[in-house]
Structure 1
Amino acid sequence: MSEQTPDTGSPSIRPLMRSAIYEASNPRLRLANATRSVLQHSATSTASGVNVLAAVELLEQAAALLAVGPHGRSYHASAEGAVGGATHGFASHSPVTGPLNALAGVVDIEITPTEVIATATYGDAYEGPPGCLHGGLIAAIFDEVLGFAQALSGAPGMTGRLEVTYRSPTPLHQPLRIIGRFDEVNGRKIMTTGEIYAGERLCAQATGVFISVKAEKFADLNAVRQTPG
């Protein structure tokens, strides 16, 4: 696969599952990448008021175009962390790692039989303390990466408990390494652990407990989501 990802200050998008939706020519991927770029520039731009208003007019036109026609999507995955490559699947639209979701950050995800390794470099749009990644986003990243890791259990589920310990500031503009691993299963509980590193420095640790969910339950949730009103 060949993909040209714009320099948006957001993590570059590298798909978990290779599929046509991740090709640079996909208009929905181009839309997400362009929106990421706008989000990043809007966080730091010192453009003149005239240029800002001109940008606003273009964005309003774009929003009007996208408002036309039906909306909605359905999930083809059975639980959090499922990695289906469907155009409207969880992985592609996740607000944390989904390449088709402009809010998403990370990606470059490698899955082994025992752990998940993600890498990302975050820009100013994700800032919490000065020069540092927002702590709430750190928790969301752990939820996502541990969610992928718990799927290695063979009976994936949904988050039951997530505990994060912040060890040191997590920097912006530096490559981060996020590790998630599946540890054990205890009944319906799936135990996971993970860390975030900047170089060799430990930035944060997490433990997650996921509750195994039957495919039928997830189908019921999706049916409710698709119900009008």
Structure 2
Amino acid sequence: MSSRSDSEPDSEPDRAANTAAVDAPNEKVADLVTQPAVPNGMLERISMDPTQGANFATEPRRELTQAVRHLIDAILTRDDVTDEVLRDAAIATEDLAAQIAGSPHEAKARGRRVPSERTHGDYLTRSPIVGQVNPVAPPLEWEVRSGRIFGRGIYHAAYEGPPGYVHGGWIALTFDEILGMANVASGNPGMTGTLKIRYRRPTPLHKEVTFEGWTEKVEGRRITALGTMSVDGVVTAEAEGLFVIIDPAKAWEYFGKARGEAAPAGVEEL
């Protein structure tokens, strides 16, 4: 657990060695929104439209997701429930899970079809941080304004680290997601190279948390993004991330090849 109080000194986490070459001098982020330094076609594959994936994130699926969150919270917080009730709930939950999953053959077939239809926007509906249909997600609400990500949300019992406070790992995961989204919003998508979190003070559970993420600078293939997390106007954590723009060959290897996409022009298919 990495949340700590103000009385503890700020630490400088070791930075992972990242040798991505600096291909160009600093550029204004505003310029890069209209002239993104990303591989040709990459931005077309990535969407920040929160409505994308709506065919999957239907109202019944969102309702089910919220019900599962309530179940998780009850499991963690109710110590006055009898074993009989818990066993009955476990059986009922297993039955429902089997009903939704269908047969192993059906599940496998769906698993082959769905990934090829996913985009970044579709991913966001399933995200472990902002996913409307991911029971693991708090979820946090977000919006894009002037190329920055702004959002808010509440962490409940499932995210507890120190008693009464959010686990530092969840804070780090939140920043990784938010900074990555900010880079996409500014026209500079990249993959996380290093992520430094400074925990200013413990972030409480059950209180609204606000956050902001933005692209600070772009140097060739290297993107620096910053973010803050606050409660009642007081910053509880800050983040600095180094993201790396990947070339078309790597982009296809990571995200296209596994889904059966043909290699883009100029990329040799091994």
Same fold (TM over 0.5): yes
**Structure 2 unaligned blocks of 5 or more:** 1-47, 261-270
Q: Secondary structure at the match of 2:125?
A: helix
Give 2:82's match in structure 1, choosing from 42, 45, 48. Answer: 48
Q: Provide closer, same or farther for how the CA distance between residues 157 and 56 of structure 1 changes in structure 2, counting only shifts above 3 A.
A: same
Residues 167, 203 of structure 1: 8 Å contact kept: yes
1:126 to 159, 164, 169: 159
**Distance in 2 separating the partners of 1:194 and 1:205:** 6
Q: 1:19 to 1:153 in 2, by over 3 A?
A: closer
Aligned to 1:37: 70
TM-score normalized by structure 1?
0.80
1:66 aligns with 2:67: no
Q: Is 1:76 aligned to 2:118, yes or no?
A: yes
| 2:245 alignment counterpart | 212
Unpaired stretches in structure 1, ≥5 consecutive residues: 1-14
- 1:96 alignment partner, SS class: coil
TM superposition shift of 1:49 = 1.1
Q: Percent identity?
A: 32
The alpha-carbon distance between structure 1 residues 22 and 102, as it changes in their structure 2 partners (threshold 3 A), is: farther
- Structure whose alpha-carbon radius of gyration is higher: 2
Q: What is the CA distance between 1:59 and its match in structure 2?
A: 0.7
- What is the match of residue 91 of structure 2? 57
Matched, 1:184 2:226: no
Partner of 1:21, secondary structure, is: coil
Distance 1:215 1:99, change over 3 A: farther
Number of aligned residues: 204
TM-score, length of structure 2 as denominator length: 0.69
One-letter amino acid of the counterpart of residue 102, structure 1: P
Q: Separation in 1 of the partners of 2:155 and 2:93? A: 24
Secondary structure at 1:91's aligned position in 2? helix
* Structure 2 residue identity aligned to 1:57: I
Higher RCO structure (Cα 8 Å, ≥6 apart): 2
Structural mapping, 1:164-175, within 5 Å: 164-175=197-208
